[in-house]
């Protein structure tokens, strides 16, 4: 089923892409040199360093969708699970606060949505919060754009839960107060293979989880092997 909200988001995104195309800008995340050459099919494997190192203390992954862009209920769980597994497997994080803890806080803490990330993280026993804010989302079975048929866009920030005196030092990364923007998309062919909205959301979450995770651990890209 195609929703009016999804149609409006597609129109807004299409107009935005049309506006920036003549400028040669890239939508989504900023690629490092290694990732650029990999995308172009040039050279062997290149090491890409982590943009920020998380501590070994408990990390809360907080997926914030205040504008209610995500209209597939299972999508946040897919993203949380994928990102948790990716960070732990690659030693980007040592301990993840369970999603059940975050859900319990949402239900039990008065005015949860009006509280700061640092405070929420403290309530959940975290040392840092990986704050993921949803900026756009589209997962429809109907295909309107062959190359950008489904997408998920977010901004990412790391919050220091232990900092209680200086507001300027609560946000650890990135330097920009707007956060690190990331965007993933699926082609029309990928959406057609996925068939259901739930499956589309799962595909988007898997790709987004990897993109976010790689911000916090060294990894290699490129080469002719299927391993990356």
Whether the per-residue pLDDT at 34 is higher than 60: the answer is no
Q: Mean pLDDT in the chain? A: 85
Q: Check whether 25 has a pLDDT greater than 50.
A: no
Please check whether residue 191 lies inside any domain of the structure: yes
Model confidence at 191: pLDDT above 90: yes
Per-residue pLDDT tens for 142-170? 998 899 999 999 999 999 999 988 888 89
Contacts 24+ apart (CB under 8 A), 190-193: 190/149, 190/150, 191/140, 191/141, 191/143, 191/149, 191/150, 192/143
The answer to whether position 92 is within a domain reads yes
Size (the chain), residues: 228
- pLDDT of 10 strictly over 80: no
| Residue 24 pLDDT | 39
Q: Residue 61 sits in which domain range?
A: 4-220
C-alpha to C-alpha distance for 182 and 201, rounded to whole angstroms: 16
Banded pLDDT at 43 (limits 50, 70, 90):
low
> What is the model's pLDDT at position 125?
98
Write out the E strands in the chain. Answer: 46-48, 58-64, 95-96, 128-138, 150-160, 171-173, 180-186, 219-221
- CATH number of domain containing 73: 3.40.50
The predicted structure's pLDDT at residue 225 = 43
Is residue 74, in this structure, part of any structural domain at all? Answer: yes
Could you tell me if residue 85 is inside a domain? yes
pLDDT at 30 over 50: no
The fraction of the chain above a pLDDT of 90, given in percent, is 71
Split into its structural domains, the chain has a count of: 1
In a domain, 72, yes or no: yes
Whether residue 17 is contained in a domain is answered as: yes
Mention every residue, 6+ apart, whose C-beta is less than 8 A from residue 119: none
Taking Cα atoms as reference points, which of 132, 60, 123 lies closest to residue 95?
A: 60
State the DSSP string of 107-125.
HHSTTGGGS-HHHHHHHTT
């Amino acid at each position: 089923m195609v929703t009016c909200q999804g149609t409006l988001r597609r129109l807004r995104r299409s107009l935005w892409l049309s506006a920036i195309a003549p400028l040669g800008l890239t939508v989504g995340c900023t690629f490092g040199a290694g990732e650029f050459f990999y995308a172009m099919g040039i050279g062997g494997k290149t090491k890409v360093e982590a943009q920020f190192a998380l501590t070994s203390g408990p990390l809360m992954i907080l997926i914030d969708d205040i504008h209610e862009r995500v209209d597939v209920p299972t999508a946040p769980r897919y993203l949380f699970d994928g990102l948790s597994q990716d960070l732990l497997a690659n030693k980007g994080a040592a301990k993840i606060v369970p999603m059940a803890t975050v859900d319990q806080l949402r239900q039990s803490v008065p005015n949860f949505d009006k509280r700061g990330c640092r405070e929420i993280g403290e309530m959940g026993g975290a040392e840092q919060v990986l704050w993921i804010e949803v900026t756009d989302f589209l997962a429809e079975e109907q295909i309107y754009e062959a190359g950008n048929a489904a997408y998920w866009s977010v901004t990412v920030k790391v919050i220091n839960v232990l900092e209680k005196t200086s507001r300027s030092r609560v946000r650890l990364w990135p330097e920009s107060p707007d956060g690190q923007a990331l965007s993933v998309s699926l082609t029309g062919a990928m959406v057609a293979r996925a068939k259901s909205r739930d499956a589309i959301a799962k595909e988007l979450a898997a790709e987004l989880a990897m993109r976010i995770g790689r911000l916090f651990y060294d990894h290699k890209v490129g080469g002719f092997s299927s391993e990356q």
